Amino acid sequence: MSKPIVIASANGSVGMSASMAVLQRGGSALDAVEAGTREVESNIHDHSVGRAGLPNLLGQIELDASIMDGATRRAGAVAALRNYEHPISIARKVMEELPHVLLADRGAARFAKEMGFKQRDLMTAETRRRWREGLDQRAEGADDRRRYLASLRRFSHKTPLPQHSGTVNFIARDRQGNMAVAVSTSGLAWKYPGRVGDSPIIGAGNYADDRFGAAACTGRGELAVRAATARSVVMYLEMGLSIKEAGRKAMNDLKPLTDPFGTFMNIVCMDKDGNHAAFTGTAGAAYVYQTEDMDRHKETLRTVVPLQ
């Protein structure tokens, strides 16, 4: 029997007790990461995930999520999903009910309805206020609707800042030694409509393999897509590197990549034995973890690997 453990990005703290409760009663790693993620998706104070997430340039909240089972390496994901609070649960249904991995936009929404998920308005008054303030800061015709709608491409180049992006990551290992990863996000704030980052891309923002370990990412999703960052961590574990060596090498893989918005990335990862680590390009970032014998989760700083 293995010792149950959960790790998450810092904003996952609100879901740690729900995740660990699943493992303490003998539940699966898949159930644990889904339970924890759902709590974050419902947290209206977190504007980077689920309900109250920050919208795209048109004021639409588009959600991305993925889940992966390390025992079978089956996965499910949704992208650019609107009007559903829990994309992580819909992603799991994709994995379990369809011969596909990823559904997007209207197809994902159709499937969610078919699976019995209820629609809801994800926008809150606070989210709407922040969105409008962001447009005002970008100015250049934001008050002239025709000019604005004709130039979304130009506005999209002014969108990203690290504080306006965010994602939640959960990795769990259950008593059977099985691992699972869940990732959920509202994506980059003020993004071009339909933009998809790394969160629903298996191998980029999410990867799990019981034989070696698991990893998940937050940050500049386009970089993780270009470097297959989550899969890289697990591949380096397969090659025999330690969890700290594997995460550091995956971060260093990003250094040659240029990006007009800067190079920022965060990784959480765990090996098959439950050893865990997390990495960031900027000092001060943290992650959380909890084992079965802990009363509550603990927050600890990530290892800094400068990328610029």
Which positions ≥6 away from 1 have C-beta within 8 Å?
A: 175, 176
Stated as kind and residue range, the H or E segment containing 235 is: helix 229-238
Asked whether the beta carbons of 77 and 101 are under 8 A apart, the reply is yes
Other beta carbons less than 10 A from residue 156's beta carbon: 18
- The pair phi, psi for residue 83, each rounded to 5°, is 70, 25
- Is 300 a residue of the active site? no
In a 3-state reduction of DSSP, which class is residue 77?
strand
DSSP assigned state of 205: T
Check if the beta carbon of residue 63 is closer than 8 Å to that of residue 78: yes
* Beta bridge pairs of residue 7: 171, 289
Q: What single DSSP character describes residue 191?
A: P
The answer to whether residues 3 and 274 touch, using CB atoms and an 8 Å cutoff, is yes
Q: Catalytic pick from 127, 167, 263, 280?
A: 167
Lateral strand order in the sheet of 298-301: 102-104, 75-81, 63-69, 179-185, 168-173, 5-9, 286-291, 298-301
E strand map for the chain: 5-9, 63-69, 75-81, 102-104, 168-173, 179-185, 206-209, 213-219, 265-271, 276-280, 286-291, 298-301, 303-304
Q: Report the distance separating Cα 3 and Cα 292, nearest Å.
A: 7
Q: What are phi and psi of 207, to 5 degrees?
A: -160, 140
SS3 246: helix
Catalytic sites, residue numbers: 167
